[in-house]
Amino acid sequence: MTVSREVELKGHIIDSGMMQSCFGIIMDMGGSFEVEEFRIGRSKTEESYARLLVEADDPDQLQSIVHELHQNGANPSDPNDARLEPAPADQVVPKGFYSTTNHPTDIRIDGMWVPVEDIEMDCAVIVERDDDGHPYAYTEVLNAIEEGDMVVTGEAGIRVQPPERPRGSEGAFGFMQGGVSSERPSETTISNIAEAIAETKAEGGDVLAVCGPALIHSGAREDLARLVREGYVDLLSIGNGFAVHDLERDLYGTSLGMDTESLDHPRKGHKHHIYTISEIIRAGGIEQAIEDGLVDSGVMYECVQNDVPYVIAGSIRDDGPLPETITDAVEAQNAIREQAHQADLVLMLSTLLHSVAVGNCLPSTTKTVCVDINPATVTQLLDRGSAQAVGMVTDIGTFVPMLAEHLFDER
């Protein structure tokens, strides 16, 4: 017995890689297909369209294939409304709930396609109605589901739209399509990233910097502080270690004096680290320490002085931690999520843990720049289906100064 179903691909079906993926899925999973219609958009603004008849040997196989196609942006050409079921208890989803991708997604309700707000991956989709009875949909992480929430289940009435990848000629992000490489011209790549940041700022967008402690160790602190001061960083996402190291430079930099110049006496490091934490706790926190004049330079200082909101997310390897550090992981995720949803461009600078946490909350349409000296880290961060992600394998200690130079020269 051969069973079949018609599916449609719409939009940037070539540029997004959607068509190639869909053909591959069908053949990998043992199905076959006929191309019933195939129209290529003749210009960048015209959409492409393809209609395939997918065939399989039995209904189960067909359903598996259609499921995978659906994840990759192909939709049945005969949609029904999405099916909604109430959550049976707090944190418990109905069986068969739809788990999101990070691509823009619409839900069909009352015959209309309603966009899902704040799309991010691995969430449930909740549908509510406003006072006028109009439906709206949004994502919810598992631990925030409440009993009775109307959760989308199954796959009917759900439309996923993988975004196109930018072409070389279009804007600052067109410059790097092949993902990561350590064999690209470093300075040109950095200047392109600077341009993308400037562009984002010019359009009124928000830049989120996600930073690891290596940034401080490698001597990039002053340049990052300047980027904050000059308005190129709108949001900061860090861990306890980053903040401690930044503050330690302030508190013990002067007394050590030659340290950052001469690299002398590195042995003293860990003592100052724990003394710094102790002094900040004694002062009552970072903001209090700045207000008291105890701390008067660095990244944290510039954030406080320039009203740049920061999230210090705790982890099990923290010393201290500092009073402002959010020690509960779920609470920290919620703070990170809010930043991620606000950001238009995200710089992931030398931190795998925090970058993954932020990346988990990003839609595939947010511009992302990943910088790390470890190629495996960059690859892992880029490998999330984002259409607008560029990665650079370089030294954060030379990257940030060069980026700053390009940004300040450009003005």
Query: Interface residues for its own copies in 72-91 (CB under 8 A)?
Result: 91
Specify which residues 10 forms β-bridges with. 49
| Min dist. Cβ of residue 175 to its own copies (A) | 5
Comparison of 15 and 246: residue with beta carbon closer to its own copies: 15
Rule CB under 8 A: is residue 27 a binding residue for its own copies? yes
Name the DSSP letter for residue 204. T
339, 265 in Cβ contact below 8 A? no
Helix (H) or strand (E) holding 148: none
Q: Is 138 in the site for its own copies (CB under 8 A)?
A: no
Q: In the range 293-352, which residues lie near its own copies by CB under 8 A?
A: 313-321, 327-333, 336
210-249: which residues touch its own copies (CB under 8 A)? 214, 217-220
205 or 315: CB nearest its own copies = 315
Q: Is the dihedral of CA 231, 233, 236, 238 positive or negative?
A: negative
68 binds its own copies (CB under 8 A): yes
For residues 310 and 303, the answer to whether their CB atoms sit within 8 Å is yes
Closer to its own copies by Cβ: residue 135 or 339: 339
156 binds its own copies (CB under 8 A): no
Select 113 or 315, whichever has its Cβ closest to its own copies.
Answer: 315
Tell me if 319 sits within 8 A of 276, measured CB to CB: no
For position 409 contacting its own copies by CB under 8 A, the verdict is no
Distance CA 129, CA 57 (A): 41
Strands (DSSP E) found in 87-149: 105-109, 112-117, 124-129, 135-140
- Told to check if 411 binds its own copies by CB under 8 A, we report no
**The residue type at 170:** E
Q: Which of residues 361-390 bind its own copies (CB under 8 A)?
A: 373-376, 379
Give the other-Cβ count within 10 Å of 134's Cβ.
Answer: 12
Q: Is 16 in the site for its own copies (CB under 8 A)?
A: no
CB-nearer residue toward its own copies: 34 or 57? 34
Least distance (Å) between residue 271 CB and its own copies: 6
Question: Counting Cβ atoms within 10 Å, is residue 286 exposed (0-12), middle (13-18) or buried (19+)?
Answer: buried
Return the range that interacts with its own copies (CB under 8 A); candidates 106-114, 167-175, 196-204, 290-298. 167-175
Could you say whether residue 254 binds its own copies (CB under 8 A)?
A: no
Member of 286, 303, 399, 404 binding its own copies (CB under 8 A): 399
The answer to whether 203 and 341 are in contact (CB under 8 A) is: no
Alpha-carbon span 373 to 55, nearest angstrom: 46
